[in-house]
Structure 1
Amino acid sequence: MTRDWLPIKTTPWTLGLALLLMFLLAETAALPQRVDYWLLDSVMFASPAVASPDVVIVAIDDLSLAQQGRWPWPRRTHAALIGKLHQAGAETIVFDVLFTEPSPDDAVLSRAMQAHGRVIMPVHMSPPNSRLLLSEQFPASDLITAAAGIGHAHVELDHDGIARGLYLFNGMTRQLWPALALAASGVSSRQPDSQGLPPFVNVRDDYRIVPLAGGAGTLPTYPYSDVLNAPPAPDVFGGKTVFVGATAAGLGDILPTPFSGLSRPISGVEFHANTFSAYQQRLLITAAPAWVGIALAIITLVALAVLLPRMRPARTLFACVTAGITILGLYIAMLTALQVWLPVAHALIIPLLALPIASGMRLAMTNQFLNRQLDELARAPRVALPELSKRPLTQLLEHFQALFQPQGWLLMENSNIVSTRNLGRAEVPDDLEPGLWRNDGNQSWIQLNRGNSCYTLGLTLPNDLSRDAIQRYLRRLKLSTSGPAIKMLRPSENISARIERVKVATERLNHMQEFIRRSFERMPDGIIVTDELGIIRFANGHIEEWFGEPMPSLGGLPLTRLLEGHDPRETPPWHETVSETLTLLQSRTVDLKIREKDFLIHFAPFALPDSVQYGIIANISDISELREQQRQHREAIDFISHDVRSPLVSQLALIEQLKRDPTHIDQSQLEQLGRLARRSYHLAEEFVQLARAEQLTETLFYECEFLAIVENARDSVSEQALEKHIPLQLQGTEDLWLRGNAELLERAVINLLTNAVQYSPAGSAVSLQVFRAGHQACLTIADDGCGIDPDELPHLFDRYRRQKSSELAGIHGTGLGLSFVKTVVEKHRGEIYVASSPGEGSSFTLKLPIADPMS
């Protein structure tokens, strides 16, 4: 079996290349960088850092500007602030204020700085004006000498304009200055690796992300004027690092951060204070090299490209979600536990792209598969079951003619006669309702609308008992649509159109399979289908019923084991029959007996689809009835050869004797000849009545009254009872209507009464009681005869069976009377019971269903 080549397949190569192409397209739109920033901001906002208790901010805010006057303030004011903080016990004072121009008060400020001993001054890299190159802007020379350290005040803005971190070292090619936070911690400047670079180049090193403690105002902040004018506060500033800087909006030193965005930016001094707090707690985050994120993305791409094509579609989403969660878990663990920021947007984009790409490729494969399946389904044979409402009326008429053999018909299209026989236009009933049959005696009419035409169809059915059944059958046929035709809209999507077509084709295939399955289930024979090893793969309901094995246990059971378990045999053994059917490819027919029933099993090999091997179809037929008929046939032959032949031979012998001496005819000889003739006639009558009973069907039933049937039977036997002085006492006055054959029912009651009179002693009584019990009409015939032996009761209704006591008493019968009675009762779906004891008489009870049990 060859496999068709598909131009689009979900393979590691095709999926990997598609993912790589989409990844590169996403990279050109800077999407990964935006995702990385968003993830970082989300984590930092969700779990802000804890502020260090050793950090305090003295803010040059709007209140302080209002009290101290316009900026810049005299430097002696800053000297006074240093004095106050020194008196309060501040450990380190960090100024985020530029003092680049000389001032007359520099000496005062320098002395205050020297008195404290740990004052950090900022350096700023910028060109003095637009015409000059970039240079370092230091504080005045006196202040540099007095400062305990110099730190750069630069904060780095990312590509989206948000401040998330800074370079720990920044400067020109001669020297790299630590950030203010590091300078406050005692870190000194260092020499850069800047060989060959011009002196005006800005050199930066060791970028770190700062986990902020929150937005503006998160760290303890005190107004500049309040600290300057209030007494020293050792409880606030003692042993702490104090950052002094501008927070007033008018001074313009503001930075958007993940906590504030552009709506509530924080000041530079607050950012440096947060940097110091994080540095002291070792919380500064290092950015992983860019190649690590690319490597993680490649690993994710390869893993999904290899795994997804091997997964079921339902698990693709789970795999992509799992990959995304794993990457996010790794990201959060490294960020919170190791303080390493790993850009994972490249890797996260891969699962996001993998799901739609893999689904799209599978959809393309599905589309191709559907096209191929549609072509195969179009070529495959199928059982056509067109709807009756779509068949042409001429074709329907032909089918009705073949099925019912009507005595006449008429088919008209509008007012034109299409076909007719023994029916004319004048006989069409008025006001026919479209789609509904109208029955008028033995004529049935229907009117149907097909397109723009109105058809009238009439049938003259046989005027016998089958007429009602045919008319009921016609009413069940759906010859017209129940409502307006619904126009099927063709889906606009290509795949939806394919799916719809496959759906229709699959429904047709399912209908065919259901048709075949129901056909197998309704077959009169049992069917077993095996594979090439004789293992049962299919069995219909008859097998389950006959063998008494539940259907689930039949599947996968060896056929030989099933047969040996119910009909073990040695010659030939079942395994030999089954194996020879498979190996020699020859049919076999074998007798089978299951639970006292006779079957015939026929083994036939058949070629398995898409294989060179053969399986077995076993057809099992129930021949119990046939065997019973054969047995009855043999019994009938034996009976005829003995019981029927014997009186005929006696009659012939007596006739020959009379012929030899016709002058001396004795009256006793004539009486004997009459008895023999009557016995022969009685035997023939018994055979005829039993044959009629066995051929009785419900088509020969009609409404009849049970009490009248019993009365007629009593009258027929009254003369025979009168000869033995046996009164026939009938009890019952209620009319009980049955649906049955009154003639055969009367004959059955006569047989019971005849037996009761025959086996009862003279002068005794026979009672007949007709009554109703629930939904049944009952008749009980009781006598005072010799009774029936218990050993003979189980075989009482067997044909040709005679009681030993009767034969010994000289009462000769055919053995067909009670068999006839039971056959008639069973044909009427009734029951018969016997109660008898030797010497105490017998009681026969008939129970027949009432025609209208609700009356």
Structure 2
Amino acid sequence: MNRDWLPLKTTPWTLGLAILLMFVLTGTTALPQRIDYWLLDSALLAHPADASSDIALVAIDDFSLAQLGRWPWPRHTHAGLITKLHESGAETIVFDVLFTEPSRDDAALGRAMQAHGKVILPVHLSPASSRMQLSEQLPAAPLLRAASGIGHVHVELDHDGIARGLYLFNGMGQQLWPSLALAASGAAPRETEINGLPPFVNVRDDYRIVPLTGGAGTLPTYSYSDVLNAPPAPELFRGKTVFVGATAAGLGDILPTPFSRLSRPMSGVEFHASTLSAYQQKLLIKPAPAWASIALAVITLMALSFLLPRMRPIRTVFACILAGAAILGLYTVMLGAFRVWLPVAHALIIAALAFPIASGLRLAMTNRFLNRQLDELVRSPRITLPEPSKRPPTQLLEHFQALFQPQSWLLTEDADVLSLRHLDLSDVPAELEPGRWHHTGNQSWIRFYRGNTCYTLGFSLPNDLSRDAIQRYLSRLKLSSDTSAEIQPQPRENISARIERVKVATDRLNHMQEFIRRSFERMPDGIIVTDELGIIRFANGHIEEWFGEPMPSLGGLPLTRLLEGYDPRETPPWHETVSETLTLLQSRTVDLKVREKDFLIHFAPFALPHSTQYGIIANISDISELREQQRQHREAIDFISHDVRSPLVSQLALIEQLKRDPGHINQSQLEQLGRLARRSYHLAEEFVQLARAEQLSETRFYECELLAIVENARDSVSEQALEKGISLQLQGTEDLWLRGNAELLERAVINLLTNAVQYSPPGSAVSLQVFRAGHQACLTIDDDGVGIDAEELPYLFDRYRRQKSSELAGIHGTGLGLSFVKTVIEKHRGEIYVTSKPGEGSSFTLKLPIADPLT
């Protein structure tokens, strides 16, 4: 099913709609309100307001009830308290006690109130009975006339039941009463701005949050009975506003506050006293308009919806954290500096939801992309490299037959024979260990399992030098399958299944890349791949080795600059060849010389993936050996045309002369003909020996002993030395075993001894010394001959090159003898050195690796 139409991209619209949907769902719960209350309470608790020093409480507490009797007390008792506080110098007296019913002591209380002049009484809004409508419960008429102010005592409880503030004005009809704290400050009732309201409708205005000074008992509090019965205390009440109200349990109203919750509620009179304290210090907090919270949430939603899709995933979380911190910073500034409470829970919830929603959308988009890529990967062609342990046994046998050409074989399945030739069950070794190859002579056997089926495979290899190498190769080849690795639990979760698919696809791609990389690295040629501008993007190890450029410096280097730096040319210039390959899309093949080595570079254009442009694949082949062979071929042609042709022509001329006068053949003519024939034979022999040396490989090596080789070579040259009276002195008794070709090594030593005898004066001596130096077997040949000029030493081992001194002395050679010696020694991974001075003789030293250096 094609799901490309699904809007799973992380765009401002998709992210904004997703956050808005989650926000609306969250807004249907009480979570935003609880967060706002929690933030407000945390701020108020962290920084409690300072208590005003001009406020005191006179509490109608349990002790006063015990001293003065049950409630209600006679009003002349309250008159006595007012008189005592008046004598103490109290500036304002505020009663949080209702005097709604008339009493015979109202006159006495009214006189005391008038004598003080500033007594505030409460008004309560409640129905007179359960059958009546809401009405104002005012003090009795005498008291109402004596009071200097009236204030309402209603404290507002929030939705969670906690008292955090009150309305500064509350009333019914056309008049709003100030709160008890505002009345104490001299505020008068005000007319309502709403006309035509029924007289029983409660009207409230100017809600304020009260930052309390602390829990219950924070303000200075004195017992009612103590103040009434004790002498006046001007030091406690002078110039202060004194609140009088009930704090006894079950007598007055109790309010849970942010400081107390339900553990120690605060009395109403304390709450009103704290309200006056905050009002005097201008600390009352005004709630922000409802639209401000919504506006902040909308701004946060738009900002995050616009920014997050353009950010990296790691920056998304920091952006959301920064947004939350900015919202809390704004909240703190508004609350602390401007005394405005701005609910920010909606904005915080959006900031908290933005990250998981954005991550979820990105995850969904990534998951969808991975599924599409995995589907394309499954459909795309790929190179399969099945393990030998998973191939059918019959197929394995076919592969072994094609690879090794065995002379005989046997394949069985349990007790059944699947294929055989010249082998039967009696040839199977009894001690076969499953999964391990067993080699007996030229036969190789293995027993392996496919599931619960046992297979036995064996074949006979050619009995030549390649047998050991093939058996070592087979020992590294695993044919048994590991069943424990094949049984893997299938993931149950959908995301786990996809992760497993990604892992399998990634492993497959890694194996493919490793296969391609190793293939390129092991190619015999150098490979360079460029982009559409001719910039090198890939090069294998041969390029790094041949050009001497480290791999990091090759990447990003123009191909023309690399080639011009090592082989500058004018016709045609490199930039022209490279540009024509890219523009004309035609292949080019050009010679290249790098560090005295010859190469052939082939430029081929190829189409770049997902592009209309072409790049270049440059294949660089090392043809130094081919050019050297061509040079040797030309030298051989020159050699044959001159050195070989010359004695043959002389022989033919002499034979023609003898034919014309067959009756006058003398001995000198026959000797001359024999010398020419021997020279031709010698030339041909050296030419053949050099060709054999150049074709020598380690497959023709075997164990041989150096001292025996030198002794045989000495014996071969002894007759030639005896003719000149030259003694061959051999020193050395230690057996030094080598791995090499004794025949060619002996021929090389013979060539050196022949030269030593040929160039040494009669009656001299040639010394041969065989010894061991570390892990090398050494041979030194010293003579007392004419020596070699210093300018000829660097070219001594070049083929077809002869010394000028030898030619002038009449000693004719082919120039192949020393070249043959050097070729043989190098094929044996050895070294040859020569030291010589004209007139003092020469010294040749051979060094060859010992077969077993640890013995």
Common fold: TM-score over 0.5: yes
Q: Do the aligned partners of residues 18 and 665 (structure 1) sit closer, same or farther apart at CA in structure 2, a change above 3 Å counting?
A: same
One-letter amino acid matched to 2:681: Y
Q: Which residue number in structure 2 is paired with residue 565 of structure 1?
A: 565
Q: What SS does the corresponding residue of 1:249 show, helix, strand or coil? A: coil
Q: Which residue number in structure 2 is paired with residue 841 of structure 1?
A: 841
Q: Do the aligned partners of residues 185 and 779 (structure 1) sit closer, same or farther apart at CA in structure 2, a change above 3 Å counting?
A: farther
Deviation at 1:654, TM superposition (A): 3.0
Deviation at 1:444, TM superposition (A): 0.6
Maintained 8 Å contact 1:370/1:499: no
Q: Which residue number in structure 1 is paired with residue 73 of structure 2?
A: 73
Q: Which residue number in structure 2 is paired with residue 597 of structure 1?
A: 597
- Cα distance in 2 for partners of 1:399, 1:450 equals 18
Deviation at 1:555, TM superposition (A): 2.8
Q: Which residue number in structure 2 is paired with residue 395 of structure 1?
A: 395
- Cα distance in 1 for partners of 2:650, 2:576 equals 57
The 5 A counterparts of 1:470-549 are 470-482=470-482, 484-549=484-549
Deviation at 1:427, TM superposition (A): 0.3
- Cα distance in 2 for partners of 1:735, 1:546 equals 42
Once the two structures are superposed, residues 543-576 of structure 1 have per-residue CA deviations (whole angstroms, 9 ceiling, x without a partner) of 2222333333333333223222222222222222
Q: Which residue number in structure 1 is paired with residue 359 of structure 2?
A: 359
Maintained 8 Å contact 1:382/1:509: no
Q: Which residue number in structure 1 is paired with residue 386 of structure 2?
A: 386
Q: Which residue number in structure 1 is paired with residue 641 of structure 2?
A: 641
Deviation at 1:788, TM superposition (A): 2.4
One-letter amino acid matched to 1:326: A
- Cα distance in 1 for partners of 2:752, 2:328 equals 95
Maintained 8 Å contact 1:768/1:782: yes
Q: Which residue number in structure 2 is paired with residue 24 of structure 1?
A: 24
Between the aligned residues of both structures, percent identity stands at 82
Q: Do the aligned partners of residues 91 and 715 (structure 1) sit closer, same or farther apart at CA in structure 2, a change above 3 Å counting?
A: farther
Maintained 8 Å contact 1:168/1:205: yes
Q: Do the aligned partners of residues 345 and 728 (structure 1) sit closer, same or farther apart at CA in structure 2, a change above 3 Å counting?
A: same
Q: What SS does the corresponding residue of 1:772 show, helix, strand or coil? A: strand
Q: Do the aligned partners of residues 722 and 216 (structure 1) sit closer, same or farther apart at CA in structure 2, a change above 3 Å counting?
A: farther
| Further displaced range: 845-854 or 441-450 | 845-854
1:274 aligns with 2:280: no
Q: Which residue number in structure 2 is paired with residue 206 of structure 1?
A: 206
Deviation at 1:480, TM superposition (A): 1.9
1:610 aligns with 2:610: yes
One-letter amino acid matched to 1:460: S
- Cα distance in 1 for partners of 2:650, 2:161 equals 133
Q: Which residue number in structure 2 is paired with residue 650 of structure 1?
A: 650
- Cα distance in 2 for partners of 1:763, 1:229 equals 156
Q: Which residue number in structure 1 is paired with residue 93 of structure 2?
A: 93
Q: Which residue number in structure 1 is paired with residue 295 of structure 2?
A: 295
- Cα distance in 2 for partners of 1:581, 1:505 equals 36
Q: Do the aligned partners of residues 685 and 56 (structure 1) sit closer, same or farther apart at CA in structure 2, a change above 3 Å counting?
A: farther
One-letter amino acid matched to 2:571: T
Q: Do the aligned partners of residues 132 and 4 (structure 1) sit closer, same or farther apart at CA in structure 2, a change above 3 Å counting?
A: closer
Q: Which residue number in structure 2 is paired with residue 49 of structure 1?
A: 49
One-letter amino acid matched to 1:786: V
Maintained 8 Å contact 1:6/1:365: no
Q: Which residue number in structure 1 is paired with residue 414 of structure 2?
A: 414
Q: Which residue number in structure 2 is paired with residue 186 of structure 1?
A: 186
Maintained 8 Å contact 2:36/2:345: yes
| Further displaced range: 42-51 or 233-242 | 233-242
Q: Do the aligned partners of residues 737 and 96 (structure 1) sit closer, same or farther apart at CA in structure 2, a change above 3 Å counting?
A: farther
Maintained 8 Å contact 1:532/1:614: yes
Q: What SS does the corresponding residue of 2:42 show, helix, strand or coil? A: helix
Q: Do the aligned partners of residues 352 and 713 (structure 1) sit closer, same or farther apart at CA in structure 2, a change above 3 Å counting?
A: same
Q: Which residue number in structure 1 is paired with residue 631 of structure 2?
A: 631
Deviation at 1:755, TM superposition (A): 2.6
Q: Which residue number in structure 1 is paired with residue 432 of structure 2?
A: 432
Q: Do the aligned partners of residues 712 and 245 (structure 1) sit closer, same or farther apart at CA in structure 2, a change above 3 Å counting?
A: farther
Q: Do the aligned partners of residues 210 and 721 (structure 1) sit closer, same or farther apart at CA in structure 2, a change above 3 Å counting?
A: farther
Q: Which residue number in structure 1 is paired with residue 743 of structure 2?
A: 743
Q: What SS does the corresponding residue of 2:791 show, helix, strand or coil? A: helix
Deviation at 1:380, TM superposition (A): 1.1
One-letter amino acid matched to 2:175: Q
TM-score (norm 2): 0.94
| Further displaced range: 135-144 or 388-397 | 135-144
TM-score (norm 1): 0.94
Q: What SS does the corresponding residue of 1:499 show, helix, strand or coil? A: helix
Q: What SS does the corresponding residue of 2:174 show, helix, strand or coil? A: coil
- Cα distance in 1 for partners of 2:692, 2:681 equals 16
Maintained 8 Å contact 1:532/1:615: yes
Deviation at 1:653, TM superposition (A): 2.8
Q: What SS does the corresponding residue of 2:164 show, helix, strand or coil? A: strand
Q: Do the aligned partners of residues 677 and 227 (structure 1) sit closer, same or farther apart at CA in structure 2, a change above 3 Å counting?
A: farther
Q: Which residue number in structure 2 is paired with residue 465 of structure 1?
A: 465
Maintained 8 Å contact 2:162/2:261: yes
Maintained 8 Å contact 2:588/2:604: yes
1:772 aligns with 2:765: no
- Cα distance in 2 for partners of 1:3, 1:802 equals 84
Maintained 8 Å contact 1:92/1:119: yes
Maintained 8 Å contact 1:32/1:346: yes
Q: Do the aligned partners of residues 827 and 80 (structure 1) sit closer, same or farther apart at CA in structure 2, a change above 3 Å counting?
A: farther
One-letter amino acid matched to 2:566: H
Q: Do the aligned partners of residues 835 and 99 (structure 1) sit closer, same or farther apart at CA in structure 2, a change above 3 Å counting?
A: farther
Q: Do the aligned partners of residues 74 and 696 (structure 1) sit closer, same or farther apart at CA in structure 2, a change above 3 Å counting?
A: farther
Q: Do the aligned partners of residues 249 and 475 (structure 1) sit closer, same or farther apart at CA in structure 2, a change above 3 Å counting?
A: farther
Maintained 8 Å contact 1:122/1:180: yes
One-letter amino acid matched to 2:256: P
- Cα distance in 2 for partners of 1:87, 1:718 equals 153
Q: Structure 2: state its 5+ residue gaps.
A: none
One-letter amino acid matched to 1:812: H
Maintained 8 Å contact 2:450/2:481: no
One-letter amino acid matched to 1:590: V
Q: Do the aligned partners of residues 273 and 788 (structure 1) sit closer, same or farther apart at CA in structure 2, a change above 3 Å counting?
A: farther
Maintained 8 Å contact 2:449/2:481: no
Deviation at 1:662, TM superposition (A): 4.0
Q: Which residue number in structure 2 is paired with residue 306 of structure 1?
A: 306
Q: What SS does the corresponding residue of 1:205 show, helix, strand or coil? A: strand
Once the two structures are superposed, residues 198-242 of structure 1 have per-residue CA deviations (whole angstroms, 9 ceiling, x without a partner) of 111111111111122322333333444444455544444343333
One-letter amino acid matched to 1:676: L
Q: What SS does the corresponding residue of 1:43 show, helix, strand or coil? A: helix
Q: What SS does the corresponding residue of 1:53 show, helix, strand or coil? A: coil
Q: What SS does the corresponding residue of 1:497 show, helix, strand or coil? A: helix
1:118 aligns with 2:110: no
- Cα distance in 2 for partners of 1:328, 1:740 equals 87
Q: Which residue number in structure 1 is paired with residue 701 of structure 2?
A: 701
| Further displaced range: 21-30 or 237-246 | 237-246
Deviation at 1:7, TM superposition (A): 4.7
Q: Do the aligned partners of residues 160 and 624 (structure 1) sit closer, same or farther apart at CA in structure 2, a change above 3 Å counting?
A: same
Q: What SS does the corresponding residue of 1:250 show, helix, strand or coil? A: coil
Deviation at 1:538, TM superposition (A): 2.4
Deviation at 1:424, TM superposition (A): 1.0
- Cα distance in 2 for partners of 1:550, 1:435 equals 44
Q: What SS does the corresponding residue of 2:687 show, helix, strand or coil? A: helix
One-letter amino acid matched to 1:458: G
Deviation at 1:416, TM superposition (A): 0.8
Q: Do the aligned partners of residues 774 and 124 (structure 1) sit closer, same or farther apart at CA in structure 2, a change above 3 Å counting?
A: farther
Maintained 8 Å contact 1:536/1:558: yes
Q: Do the aligned partners of residues 280 and 627 (structure 1) sit closer, same or farther apart at CA in structure 2, a change above 3 Å counting?
A: same
One-letter amino acid matched to 2:481: T
Deviation at 1:523, TM superposition (A): 1.3
One-letter amino acid matched to 1:416: D
1:131 aligns with 2:117: no
Q: Count residues in correspondence.
A: 854
Q: Which residue number in structure 2 is paired with residue 790 of structure 1?
A: 790
Q: Do the aligned partners of residues 72 and 450 (structure 1) sit closer, same or farther apart at CA in structure 2, a change above 3 Å counting?
A: same
Once the two structures are superposed, residues 121-141 of structure 1 have per-residue CA deviations (whole angstroms, 9 ceiling, x without a partner) of 222211222112112222333
| Further displaced range: 100-109 or 537-546 | 100-109
Q: Which residue number in structure 2 is paired with residue 259 of structure 1?
A: 259
One-letter amino acid matched to 1:323: A
- Cα distance in 2 for partners of 1:51, 1:853 equals 100
| Further displaced range: 225-234 or 532-541 | 225-234
